[in-house]
A and B are shown apart, each in its own frame.
Chain A
Amino acid sequence: MAYLYFTPNLARQVECPPGELEAGTVSELLERYFSQWPAVRGYVLDDQGAVRKHVKVVVDDNYLIDRDELSDPVRPDSKVYVFQLLSGG
């Protein structure tokens, strides 16, 4: 199962423990996580479902490419990290 981790700075705002979920894409991974932790969605995605401008998603050491549809693939052993960008503070 893929591993999903959120910056502690987000945990200050909303409960967002790490998760391990089965998913084929980043979109599937986040949707499955949000089904368990719905309050986290609005902190990571904007009203149209895209990654917020000042949020950074890293998939196996690569920055997320498809920030609108989140279609980047995820493997069973992938590690996905959600951080804040240094801009936007």
Chain B
Amino acid sequence: MADARLVIGTRKGLFIVARNNGDWIVEHAALLGEPVTLVLPQSDGGLLVAVEHGHFGVKLKRSNDGGQTWEERPTPKYPEKPDDVEDLDPVRHEPIPWDVKTVWALESGGPDNADELWCGTIPGGLFHSVDGGDSWSFVDSLWSHPDRKCWVGGGADYPGIHSVVVDPRNSDVIRIGVSCGGVWISEDRGATWRCYGEGMRAAYMPPDQAYDMRTQDPHCLVQCRTSPERLWVQHHNGIFRSDDCGLHWTEIEEAGPSTFGFGVVVDPSDPDTAWFIPAVRDDERYPVDGKLVVTRTSDGGQSFETLTKGLPQEHAYDLVFRHALAIDEQGETLAFGSSTGNLWISDDRGDSWSHVSSSLPPIYCVRFV
């Protein structure tokens, strides 16, 4: 615990937060002024980050010295779009750009594949690296799947892959969450894909299409490390749990003040314990009654505790994005950052929260090192 660290990606740079004599402090700032949308601590100690320049596009950068210095790394790139291919958004009938707009998922290929990386993007392309990010290959099997044409934007103008979950039992098995395009699985390391999982409900679709797997908007997909058959999804209109590796989903209809939110984390050692940070609903993206809370279930979603100790209970309008809630490897320490630059950390599984900073830029992602 003594050397515990957090890496925070924000609208205006990257920040490293460390424990110092028992207190969490912001220890280092890097890449100031640059939007850092995702961070991936790598097994060799390096930090790989996605920087989204407003003008000059998305770039990947890596630091080998804890964030002191950075070098640009190869960025995933879409293939040249053939002239005879029509690729239109199914709702607006506008062309889908074959261009990396946002790096929305960045994950390692599993504990037995330290050199492999997966990168999900807006507008929906998935990329794979087998050399630690020295080069990237475009996963055409997913992009060319006919059902990819059903995907639509969720939160952004174009669809995107925000969750890449490598099965801890078998790193050939990859699950992804798509907003909006449902949950997909590959059991052959990305060679083939299928949209799967019955039971998710899309309240924003006509009744006859509400259970169409391809129109679901899973905001965040996570898998329990020690009980991998258990998956959790924070969905656009609720919380869903699967007990059979994602084949079937059960909707959790009550979860404290609201079931709407973006992030979810699951205890790596207890599939029944998961945490969420609710907002009112999709068109009111702030905490219910201006009271910021974390909700925790310890019984698989049958009941929820509403955790408030250390969190503001009046005039709090923080929204926590999908990558901005994190849990450490031991399942003891949690952290989250908000759209208004607040950062909280809990060393007791969410029972109480320490307010680390109120003056950071808007926080996009939080990850433990």
Contacts and interface: CB of A to CB of B under 8 A. Distances in A.
Contacts of A47: 77-78, 98-100
Nearest to A89: B54
A14 B100 contact: no
Interface stretch (B55-63, B107-115, B195-203, B349-357): B55-63
Contacts of A14: 72
A65 interface: no
B53 interface: yes
Given A14-B72, A39-B72, A44 B99 contact: no
Contacts, number: 45
A63 B99 CA distance: 23
Contacts of A13: 53, 56, 59
Contacts of A62: none
A48 B56 contact: no
B194 interface: no
Nearest to B81: A48
Interface string B50-87: 00011111010000000000001001011011000000
Nearest to A49: B80
A42 B80 contact: no
A52 interface: yes
> Which residue, B53, B55, B80, B97, has most C-beta atoms of chain A within 10 A?
B55
A3 B93 CA distance: 40
Contact of B57 (A39, A46, A49, A85): A46
Main secondary structure of the interface of B (DSSP, over half): loop
B55 A48 contact: no
A43 B100 contact: no
A48 B99 contact: yes
B72 A48 contact: no
A48 B80 contact: yes
B52 to A, nearest CB: 11
Contacts of A89: 54-55
Contacts of A43: 53, 56-57
Given A48-B78, A48-B80, A54 B99 contact: no
A58 interface: no
B104 to A, nearest CB: 16
Contact of A48 (B53, B54, B98): B98
Contacts of A21: none
A81 to B, nearest CB: 14
Nearest to B54: A88
Interface string A1-36: 000000001100110000000000000000000000
A44 B53 CA distance: 11
B56 A44 contact: yes
A10 to B, nearest CB: 6
Contacts of A52: 55-57
A55 interface: yes
> Which residue, A13, A14, A43, A54, has most C-beta atoms of chain B within 10 A?
A13
Given A47-B78, A47-B100, A48-B78, A10 B72 contact: no
Contacts of B55: 9, 52, 54-55, 84-85, 88-89
Given A48-B78, A48-B81, A84 B99 contact: no
Q: 9 closest A-B pairs (Cβ-Cβ)?
A: A84-B55, A43-B56, A88-B54, A47-B78, A47-B99, A54-B55, A46-B99, A89-B54, A88-B55
Interface of A: 9-10, 13-14, 39, 42-44, 46-49, 52, 54-55, 84-85, 88-89
16 contacts: A10-B56, A42-B56, A43-B57, A46-B97, A47-B98, A47-B99, A47-B100, A48-B98, A49-B80, A52-B56, A55-B56, A84-B56, A85-B55, A88-B55, A89-B54, A89-B55
Given A55-B55, A88-B55, 18 more contacts: A9-B55, A13-B59, A42-B56, A42-B75, A42-B77, A43-B53, A43-B56, A44-B56, A46-B57, A47-B77, A47-B98, A47-B99, A48-B80, A52-B56, A52-B57, A54-B54, A54-B55, A85-B55
